[in-house]
Structures are given as C-alpha cells and as structure tokens.
Structure 1
Amino acid sequence: MNTHDADSGVPLRPRLRSIFRLQWEVAQDGYVLLYPEGMVKLNTSAGAILERCDGQHELDEIIGELEQLFSSSELAPDVYRFLDHARLRGWLD
C-alpha cells in the first residue's frame, strides 16, 4: 500500500499507473507520457520527476535527486505541485 503525504495527497512513493509509459521521444525532443488514448509531451522537469516515480523512490529522495540534477534548492514546493497535478490527472498510483 502506498501511503500519502497528509497535506498534499501525493503518494510518499509515487508510481506511474501501469497504463502509462514514460519514454524519451527523439521526434518530440523530450519526454512523452504514452497511454492508450494518446500522448502527453512533457517539459524537461516533468520528465525528470516522472522518471523517478517508480514506486521505489520516496518523495524526499526524488526531491534531493532533482535538486542535485538541476543545481537548485527549495524545489520541494514545485515537485509537490507537479505530483499533485499528476495525481489529479490519474497518472500516479
């Protein structure tokens, strides 16, 4: 069972739902989220976040990796906001 952050409802170990597949698409020059009805083109940061949503990485770990990757700090609010958006769109378990 995947527990959720009490404030945001975001899973503490987010995982893409099985109907979605994240992949780098050369023709789109970026990450895309594929599903039976279509495709969503993602920006670089959204792709980096979803790439880590494997059900194994905890939120704090994801945020730490992204802060290191983007040489930035205080990314937690943005990551939470995006993951909440992804959750509401049905992308996450």
Structure 2
Amino acid sequence: MRRGPDSQDRDPLAPPRLPVRRLRRARLGARGRAGVISTESRPRLASKVRLRFDRKGERYMLLYPEKGLVLNPTAAAIVRLCTGEHTVGAIVERLVEEYPTQTREALEREVLEFLSAMADRGLVHGDV
C-alpha cells in the first residue's frame, strides 16, 4: 500500500525537496557553461530551431522538435536578429531605435534575461 503521492506523479502534495538524482541537470555548452549570454555574445538559433510566421494567427513562432513557442512582437524582434552576426549590444541598439520609449538599460536587461532563458532551454547559442 502506498503512503502518498511521489514526485513522479506530478502531484502538488509531493515532497518539496526532491532527491538530487531526480533533478534535471543543466545542459552545458561547448565550454562547460550553461546558457551564459553577455553583451559581447553573438546569439544564434540552435540547429533544430526555426522561426516561422503563422499567417493564420498572425504571429511568430519558434518551432523545434515536437514543440512550438508563440512569441510576442518584442521577442520575435529579438529572435529575428539572432543570426550569429549581431552582438547582443547591437540587438539592443536596434531595439532602442524601434522602441524609443524604453531606456537602453531596461532593454539590455530584458534582452539578456530573455536570451539566457532561451539558452537554458537549448534554443539559442551565444557564441563569443
């Protein structure tokens, strides 16, 4: 007889602290760092990730194996510039021109947070 739900049951009553062996490890890049993006990085999409425009929904989506991610207009503007040619600083400069009501510092912080989250998911690589 079971005493209660286990963590693999995805039950909200599961114990809050999981044993270390059950935690997912961060994906490490070629240099042993997980998703490190700086202003000098030249972000590019991972090899299996594609940016597509959905004409029906009139929105951009990131498509990757068996999954998809709907992007808001700002995220789409960032991802469109992730070709490996532009640095994060250059991407921020373009966004400052496109969104003049935002400060450069705020945009830089948000772009770095967004790209770091995308890198942690394995969708973006930040080559220096």
TM-score class normalised by the smaller sequence: 0.7 to 0.9
Residue 36 of structure 1 and its aligned partner are, at CA, apart by 2.0
Larger radius of gyration: 2
Structure 1 stretches of 4+ with a deviation exceeding 4 A read none
Q: Distance in 2 between matches of 1:15 and 1:42?
A: 16
Q: TM-score, normalised by structure 1?
A: 0.85
Counterpart of 2:36, as a letter, is: G
Q: Does 1:10 align with 2:42?
A: no
CA contact (8 A) 1:22 1:34 kept: yes
* Structure richer in helix, relative to its length: 1
- Structure 1 residue runs without a partner (length 5+): 1-7
Q: Does 1:73 align with 2:107?
A: no
C-alpha deviations, 1:28-74, integer Å up to 9, x for none?
22110011212111111111111100000011100000111112322
Q: TM-score, normalised by structure 2?
A: 0.63
Q: Distance in 1 between matches of 2:75 and 2:47?
A: 18
1:56 aligned residue (85, 100, 110): 85
CA RMSD of superposed structures (Å): 1.4
May I ask how many residue pairs the two structures share in their alignment? 86
Q: Distance in 1 between matches of 2:53 and 2:95?
A: 18
